[in-house]
Amino acid sequence: MYYIEAAGLVANRMYTNINTFSGGMKAWKSAGYEVQKNNPLTAFEVETIDSATFKKDFQNCCVVDVRIRKQYSMGFYTRYLSNEMASLTFEHRKKYIHKIPLQYLSSRYKKIAKDKKVVVVDYKGKQAPLAVRYLKSVGYDPVYMLKDGMSSFEN
């Protein structure tokens, strides 16, 4: 019953709306469902930026927050980046600070500016690597992830 274990691992990475198919891919195919074989993401290296460097260079970054919506209310920006956020104009925030949950990234990535380095943030650094690889695959460079996510500010 690997599918139950796999669903648990995915849930631990803060994904929602998880469904399983008893019997796995073999049962899926024998039930007559289609299997798409898309090209996997290229194995781009995921470069990290630590929280101190991120905070110091905040104004020169395009921030992409891929946490799920219910995590936005945790207040990381107001608790740990309040001075940095206060110094930004509304126009700057609108252009360079993006809250795009990972599940919507492929349909909303074009909103992300390419004229600054992109830093992908999540809660604990679990979802960001996938987002970094995706953004690199569609032409963004440089792209970093915040090492250990927003929780790194708590340490």
Rounded to the nearest 10 degrees, how much is the dihedral formed by the CA atoms of 68, 74, 138, 115?
A: 160
- 100-132 tens-digit pLDDT: 999 999 999 999 999 999 999 999 999 999 999
Q: What are phi and psi of 10, to 5 degrees?
A: -65, -40
Token match 């600070």: residue?
97
CATH number for the segment(s) 48-153: 3.40.250.10
Distance CA 63, CA 31 (A): 43
Tokens, residue 105: 């990234």
Q: What is the pLDDT of residues 25-66, one digit of tens each?
A: 788 888 888 877 776 667 778 999 999 999 999 999 999 999
- The pLDDT tens digits for 69-85 are 888 777 777 788 888 88
| Helical (H) or strand (E) element with 73 | none
Domain ranges of the chain: 1-31, 48-153
Backbone angles phi, psi at 99, to 5 degrees: -105, 100
Structure token pair of residue 20 = 């399983």
Q: What is the pTM for the complete model shown? A: 0.75
